[in-house]
């Protein structure tokens, strides 16, 4: 069900004082993604600035995404929280709206133990029937979901089916593959590690850079799946400088800035996210130009 290049789509906002969600632009971006080979859409993830969306906006963005996608590809709704009760509420809403799956980030700030993580995710999984994808990104949340915890959840909760791994550790990801059931899916959470993760049994990427170059990211995964390793490697090295530029500052600042420069949407960000420094902006512009964008 989940494979290939899955975009962690930005949430476009109107420019100006109101800064409301630009639903029309969101629909256009979704169509652009699907036309260019993207095989799944993740609304309300980190790249979608979920942390600064109101509950009403969060629900609306997911509903608009489901409506616009119209079952052409899976919609994996970001519905995680550091409050188990809130995560259950958001996940139930997404399931009711027709989301194909939920992406569950590990609780942030409160730094639960591994036992707490297990109970948190198990409670969410037990509240809905849709598939759950864990999202492990200790660099943002302050806590790592250990491979043994992931394996326990995969064994005990039938609808916990995958993990988006953004630990940056191929050793950890290999341990996840070794410990979990064969049908449990490993998804790269780092654009620069897409090819290495595929090589250890991953099934794709939940991508940031696909917001601006969806075809190349999709082609990289497709080439690897077809056994065309040289093409996959070529795309990997082509993408690397652009990926590096898209993480010069905290995501989604650079990718949204890039989309503004390319005329794809307003580069509007919500505080505490703010515009790029002039030095990094120049580096981003150069990377876009060098890429041919």
Three-state secondary structure call for residue 13 = strand
Tell me the two tokens of residue 125: 């999984």
Catalytic residue (choose from 164, 238, 256, 291)? 164
Q: Which of 164, 108, 107 is nearest to 132 (CA)?
A: 164
Contact predicate 196/166, CB 8 Å: no
Contact predicate 41/66, CB 8 Å: no
CA dihedral (67, 69, 70, 76) in degrees, to 10, reads: -90
Contact predicate 42/36, CB 8 Å: no
Q: Does residue 135 have an active-site annotation?
A: yes
Supply φ then ψ for residue 252, to 5 degrees: -105, 25
Q: Quote the CA–CA distance of 139 and 143 in Å, as a whole number.
A: 8
Strand 40-42 relative to strand 76-78, pairing = unpaired
Q: Quote the CA–CA distance of 187 and 164 in Å, as a whole number.
A: 5
Catalytic residue (choose from 135, 158, 230, 238)? 135
Q: Does residue 118 have an active-site annotation?
A: no
Q: Quote the CA–CA distance of 259 and 281 in Å, as a whole number.
A: 13
Instruction: Give Cα 159 to chain centroid, integer Å.
Output: 19
Catalytic residue annotation = 135, 164
């Amino acid at each position: 069900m989940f494979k290939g290049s899955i975009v962690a789509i930005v949430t476009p906002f109107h420019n100006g004082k109101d800064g409301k969600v630009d639903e029309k632009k969101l629909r256009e971006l979704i169509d652009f993604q699907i036309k260019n080979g993207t095989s799944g859409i993740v609304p309300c993830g980190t790249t979608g600035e979920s942390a600064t969306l109101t509950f009403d906006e969060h629900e609306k963005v997911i509903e608009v995404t489901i409506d616009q996608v119209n079952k052409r590809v899976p919609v994996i709704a970001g519905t995680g929280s550091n409050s188990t009760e809130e995560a259950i509420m958001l996940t139930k809403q997404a399931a009711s709206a027709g989301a194909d799956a939920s992406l569950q980030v590990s609780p942030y700030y409160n730094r639960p133990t591994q036992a707490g993580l297990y109970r948190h995710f198990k409670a969410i999984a037990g509240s809905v029937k849709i598939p759950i994808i864990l999202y492990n990104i200790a660099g943002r949340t302050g806590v790592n979901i250990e491979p043994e915890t992931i394996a326990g959840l995969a064994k005990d909760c039938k609808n916990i089916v995958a993990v988006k791994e953004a630990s940056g550790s191929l050793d950890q990801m290999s341990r996840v593959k070794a410990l979990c059931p064969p049908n449990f899916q490993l998804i790269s959470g780092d654009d620069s590690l897409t090819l290495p993760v595929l090589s250890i049994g991953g099934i794709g990427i939940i991508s940031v850079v696909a917001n601006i170059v969806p075809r190349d990211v999709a082609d990289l995964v497709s080439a690897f799946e077809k056994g065309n390793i040289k093409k996959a490697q070529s795309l990997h090295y082509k993408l690397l400088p652009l990926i590096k530029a898209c993480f010069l500052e905290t995501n989604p600042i650079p990718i949204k800035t890039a989309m503004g420069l390319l005329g794809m949407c307003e580069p509007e960000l919500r505080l505490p996210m703010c515009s790029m420094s002039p030095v990094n902006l120049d580096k981003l512009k150069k990377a876009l130009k060098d890429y041919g964008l």
